[in-house]
Amino acid sequence: DIQLTQSPSFLSASVGDRVTITCRASQGISSYLAWYQQKPGKAPKLLICAASTLQSGVPSRFSGSGSGTEFTLTISSLQPEDFATYYCQQLNSYPLTFGGGTKVEIK
Protein backbone atom coordinates (compact mmCIF):
# COMPACT_ATOMS: atom_id res chain seq x y z
CA ASP A 1 0.00 0.00 0.00
CA ILE A 2 1.12 3.56 -0.66
CA GLN A 3 1.64 5.57 2.51
CA LEU A 4 1.12 9.33 2.49
CA THR A 5 2.90 11.38 5.13
CA GLN A 6 1.69 14.91 5.69
CA SER A 7 3.72 17.55 7.46
CA PRO A 8 3.24 19.32 9.65
CA SER A 9 0.35 17.56 11.37
CA PHE A 10 -0.56 20.82 13.08
CA LEU A 11 0.25 24.41 12.35
CA SER A 12 -0.68 27.67 13.95
CA ALA A 13 -0.86 30.68 11.65
CA SER A 14 -2.29 34.18 11.39
CA VAL A 15 -4.67 35.69 8.88
CA GLY A 16 -2.63 36.83 5.90
CA ASP A 17 0.16 34.27 6.40
CA ARG A 18 1.46 32.11 3.58
CA VAL A 19 0.99 28.46 4.51
CA THR A 20 2.55 25.39 2.93
CA ILE A 21 1.58 21.79 3.66
CA THR A 22 3.64 18.88 2.36
CA CYS A 23 2.47 15.40 1.40
CA ARG A 24 5.09 12.71 0.74
CA ALA A 25 4.25 9.38 -0.88
CA SER A 26 6.07 6.16 -0.05
CA GLN A 27 6.42 5.48 -3.78
CA GLY A 28 5.88 7.43 -6.95
CA ILE A 29 2.28 8.32 -7.75
CA SER A 30 2.80 10.52 -10.83
CA SER A 31 0.37 13.43 -10.37
CA TYR A 32 -2.52 11.34 -9.08
CA LEU A 33 -3.06 13.34 -5.93
CA ALA A 34 -5.98 15.29 -4.49
CA TRP A 35 -6.26 17.78 -1.65
CA TYR A 36 -9.34 18.15 0.56
CA GLN A 37 -10.41 20.65 3.19
CA GLN A 38 -12.54 19.55 6.12
CA LYS A 39 -14.17 21.75 8.72
CA PRO A 40 -15.45 20.36 12.05
CA GLY A 41 -18.64 18.37 11.70
CA LYS A 42 -18.65 18.71 7.91
CA ALA A 43 -17.81 16.50 4.97
CA PRO A 44 -14.52 17.06 3.17
CA LYS A 45 -14.43 19.38 0.19
CA LEU A 46 -12.28 18.76 -2.87
CA LEU A 47 -9.85 21.64 -3.46
CA ILE A 48 -7.35 20.31 -5.97
CA CYS A 49 -7.07 17.24 -8.19
CA ALA A 50 -4.26 15.97 -10.37
CA ALA A 51 -1.83 17.62 -7.94
CA SER A 52 -2.36 21.13 -9.27
CA THR A 53 -5.80 21.55 -10.88
CA LEU A 54 -7.96 23.88 -8.83
CA GLN A 55 -11.59 22.87 -8.55
CA SER A 56 -14.24 25.28 -9.80
CA GLY A 57 -15.22 27.76 -7.10
CA VAL A 58 -12.09 27.27 -5.00
CA PRO A 59 -10.31 30.57 -4.31
CA SER A 60 -7.12 31.20 -6.27
CA ARG A 61 -5.14 31.65 -3.05
CA PHE A 62 -5.04 27.84 -2.96
CA SER A 63 -2.50 26.12 -5.18
CA GLY A 64 -0.96 22.69 -5.49
CA SER A 65 2.27 21.43 -6.95
CA GLY A 66 4.47 18.39 -7.18
CA SER A 67 4.72 15.02 -8.83
CA GLY A 68 6.24 11.66 -8.08
CA THR A 69 6.61 11.48 -4.31
CA GLU A 70 6.51 15.05 -3.04
CA PHE A 71 3.57 17.42 -3.18
CA THR A 72 2.62 20.72 -1.63
CA LEU A 73 -0.56 22.62 -0.94
CA THR A 74 -0.03 26.35 -0.55
CA ILE A 75 -2.42 28.98 0.74
CA SER A 76 -0.96 32.29 -0.35
CA SER A 77 -2.79 34.49 2.17
CA LEU A 78 -4.65 32.66 4.91
CA GLN A 79 -8.23 33.80 5.43
CA PRO A 80 -10.45 33.19 8.49
CA GLU A 81 -12.52 30.62 6.58
CA ASP A 82 -9.39 28.58 5.78
CA PHE A 83 -8.90 27.36 9.32
CA ALA A 84 -9.63 23.65 8.89
CA THR A 85 -7.96 20.28 8.48
CA TYR A 86 -6.41 19.43 5.12
CA TYR A 87 -5.91 15.95 3.70
CA CYS A 88 -4.08 14.62 0.67
CA GLN A 89 -5.21 11.45 -1.11
CA GLN A 90 -3.44 9.31 -3.70
CA LEU A 91 -5.35 7.85 -6.63
CA ASN A 92 -2.43 6.04 -8.25
CA SER A 93 -3.26 2.57 -7.02
CA TYR A 94 -5.60 0.61 -4.80
CA PRO A 95 -6.16 0.79 -1.94
CA LEU A 96 -6.62 4.52 -2.22
CA THR A 97 -5.05 6.18 0.80
CA PHE A 98 -5.22 9.49 2.63
CA GLY A 99 -2.55 11.36 4.47
CA GLY A 100 -2.95 11.79 8.22
CA GLY A 101 -4.15 15.38 7.92
CA THR A 102 -2.85 18.83 8.76
CA LYS A 103 -4.86 20.95 11.16
CA VAL A 104 -4.51 24.68 10.54
CA GLU A 105 -5.42 26.76 13.59
CA ILE A 106 -5.53 30.45 14.38
CA LYS A 107 -2.41 31.85 16.03
Partner 1 sequence: EVQLVESGGGLVQPGGSLRLSCAASGFTFSDHYMDWVRQAPGKGLEWIGRNRNKANSYTTEYAASVNGRFTISRDDSTSSLYLQMNSLKTEDTAVYYCARSYFYSSVYYIDYWGQGTLVTVSS
53 is an interface residue for partner 1 by CB under 8 A: yes
Query: Per rule CB under 8 A, is residue 45 in the interface with partner 1?
Result: yes
Closest CA to 65 of 75, 80, 77: 75
Q: Which of 14, 16, 81, 94 binds partner 1 (CB under 8 A)?
A: 94
Q: Are 24 and 40 in contact (CB under 8 A)?
A: no
Interface with partner 1, residue 55, by CB under 8 A: yes
Give the closest residue to 103 by CA, choosing from 85, 90, 87, 89.
85
Which of 13-21, 38-46, 60-68, 75-83 is the region at the interface with partner 1 (rule: CB under 8 A)?
38-46
CA distances from residue 101 to 44, 56, 57 in whole angstroms, order as listed: 12, 23, 22
Contact status: 101 vs partner 1 (CB under 8 A) = yes
Query: Is residue 105 at the binding interface for partner 1, with CB under 8 A as the rule?
Result: no
